[in-house]
Chain A
Amino acid sequence: MAVMPSRHKSLVLLAGVIVLQVLLLAVQNKRDSQGRLIRSWTVGAVSPFERAGSYGFGWFRDVWRNYFALRGTRKDNEDLHRENDALKLHIAQLEGKAAEADRLAGLLHFRQSQADVPMVAARVIGGSVGTASLTIQLDRGEHDGIRRNMGVITPDGVVGKIIEAYPNTSLVLLLTDRESGVGAKVADSGIQSPVGGVGEPLITMKYVPSDDEVSVGQRVVTSGMDRIFPRDLPVGTITEIKAGNQFKQIRIKPAANLEKLEEVLVLLTLHPLKETDSAAAKPAAPATSNPAPVSNP
């Protein structure tokens, strides 16, 4: 028997392997099978290595992402912090401007509803230096027509009165100060009595006889009897009533927010104001960022 050369052996082997695989393909086509068993064995044999490789790569990737790739993160973080701080400041400024615009719109609308009353808008530039008195300082003074004893209001209600007028600034005694007082009446019943401060956020109505009928929630307005404030300006709302021997002890929450004053109106006259509707304080016109004087000579 002749010995087959080595090259021919490999060619025969090649042909045999190819034929076997062609048959394998044909069987798969004919039976529509996919060699499930062989695949299952192969996958079972290789998948542990794939899993190990995947875990290994995952570990390497995590180490890379969480350590080496974070080299520039510190600087990025500092930059973002700086940017964030700047944005916060910018937002605070914008919020302040928006609130100021709302307040000025309220002042403007109130001013428009009282077109015949001379008044000047002023910005609060300072507060009480000590606790002995409750005052605020305005950025307008005698040059703007402000004089002592002129009334100071906001669209919400009475604020106080001018106790000192300087050329360019003025000092306001707030309604809550112990020395402060304003002629007032209960809006519904017309019961009149001075209202004054006691150095606390609430003010008191001092001389209401015990047998007069008042109730919590009633509005208190100016009576015009003090010759400082015109009639019917809002003073506050009754929040507490205690019985007394001769007079009731009535506490009132001021209508104006005296703890957060930023712009006010100074009345340049003692003439009575017209009745204002409930919408008087609502913004009705575009506002400007500076409180322009609205005096009416």
Chain B
Amino acid sequence: MNSAFDLRIGESHIEVHKFRTGAILIATLLALVIQAWFPLHFARAALLDLPLLVTIYFGLSRRNPSTGLLLGTAIGLLQDSLSGPTVPLGLFGMAKTIIGYLASSIGARLDTEHPAARFALTAAFFVVHQAVIVMTRRILLAQPEPWFNLHLFAAALVNALVAVFLFILLDRLRRPS
């Protein structure tokens, strides 16, 4: 099996990446573990949403909407499960399902290897992710949840900045083409 292949859409060539065995599983677990534990020692780390970044990265890299949304669903539900009883199962699950689908769909149409593109896409996905969570809480759960504010704007920028460097690290998990 080829480790990478070209996806032809019109005249453009988008490379679809494969990863080392277990890389996605380990990266997902690490993201969840660090997300659960890092803010305990560094309060400002609560701004980060590492499971979201992992969802975005693998969605953009795999460029398959079905696997992207399923991966997002799995990561989101795991995050819900680890977030305690105040977060209902499906809250992050739905948000990350949508992000996984969108990232995979966009990744199939655009070259997302450039750091600037990664920064912009991550910031945008963070906003969408937050919007889905807010709507889910407000509409489905009838819970008060603030709309986008300055704090979340800062969080979007921080996550986008971290994503630029994290994605470079995650690139090393790809199988050489």
Q: What distance in Å separates the Cβ of B92 from its nearest Cβ neighbour in chain A?
A: 10
Q: Which of A8-54 contact B (CB under 8 A)?
A: 9-11, 13-14, 17-18, 21-22, 24-26, 28-29, 34-35, 38-39, 41-43, 46, 49-50, 53-54
| B interface, size bucket | 20 to 34
Q: Is the CB of A10 within 8 A of B69?
A: yes
| A interface, size bucket | 20 to 34
Known: A39-B81, A53-B33. A24 touches B89 (CB 8 A): yes
In the complex, per-residue mask of B89-119: 1 if CB is within 8 Å of any chain A CB, else 0? 1110110011001001100000000000000
Cβ of B101: which chain A residues have Cβ within 8 Å of it? Answer: 10, 14
Known: A34-B85, A39-B81, A46-B82. A22 touches B90 (CB 8 A): yes
In the complex, per-residue mask of B27-43: 1 if CB is within 8 Å of any chain A CB, else 0? 00110111011000100
Known: A18-B97, A18-B98. A46 touches B36 (CB 8 A): yes
Q: Which of B63-95 contact A (CB under 8 A)?
A: 64-66, 69-70, 73, 77-78, 80-82, 85, 88-91, 93-94
Q: Is the CB of B82 within 8 A of A21?
A: no
Q: Is the CB of A50 within 8 A of B90?
A: no
Q: What distance in Å separates the Cβ of B16 from its nearest Cβ neighbour in chain A?
A: 13
Q: Is the CB of A21 within 8 A of B73?
A: yes
Cβ of A46: which chain B residues have Cβ within 8 Å of it? Answer: 29, 32-33, 36, 78, 82
Q: Does A57 contact B (CB under 8 A)?
A: yes
Cβ of B41: which chain A residues have Cβ within 8 Å of it? Answer: 57
Q: Is the CB of A50 within 8 A of B33?
A: yes
Q: Does A260 contact B (CB under 8 A)?
A: no
Cβ of A50: which chain B residues have Cβ within 8 Å of it? Answer: 33, 36-37
Q: Is the CB of B69 within 8 A of A14?
A: yes
Known: A18-B98, A38-B77, A42-B82. A25 touches B90 (CB 8 A): yes
Q: Is the CB of A38 within 8 A of B81?
A: yes
Closest to B86 in A: A34
Cβ of B136: which chain A residues have Cβ within 8 Å of it? Answer: 25
Closest to A21 in B: B90
Cα A17 to Cα B94 with chains together (Å): 8
Q: What distance in Å separates the Cβ of A29 from its nearest Cβ neighbour in chain B?
A: 7
Q: Is the CB of A17 within 8 A of B73?
A: yes
Q: What distance in Å separates the Cβ of B175 from its nearest Cβ neighbour in chain A?
A: 23
Cα A42 to Cα B33 with chains together (Å): 12
Q: Is the CB of A39 within 8 A of B89?
A: yes
Q: What distance in Å separates the Cβ of A6 from its nearest Cβ neighbour in chain B?
A: 8
Q: Is the CB of A14 within 8 A of B37?
A: no
Report which residue of A25, A26, A50 has the largest number of chain B beta carbons within 10 angstroms of its beta carbon: A25
Q: What distance in Å separates the Cβ of A217 from its nearest Cβ neighbour in chain B?
A: 71
Cβ of A14: which chain B residues have Cβ within 8 Å of it? Answer: 65, 69, 97-98, 101
The 9 A-B pairs of least Cβ separation, nearest first, read A42-B81, A10-B65, A21-B90, A35-B89, A34-B85, A24-B90, A25-B90, A39-B81, A10-B66
Besides A28-B90, A53-B37, 10 new A-B residue pairs in contact (Cβ under 8 A), listed by A number: A10-B66, A10-B69, A13-B69, A18-B97, A26-B140, A29-B88, A35-B81, A46-B32, A49-B33, A50-B36
What would 6 A/B residue contacts be, using CB atoms closer than 8 Å?
A: A11-B65, A14-B97, A21-B73, A21-B97, A49-B30, A49-B33
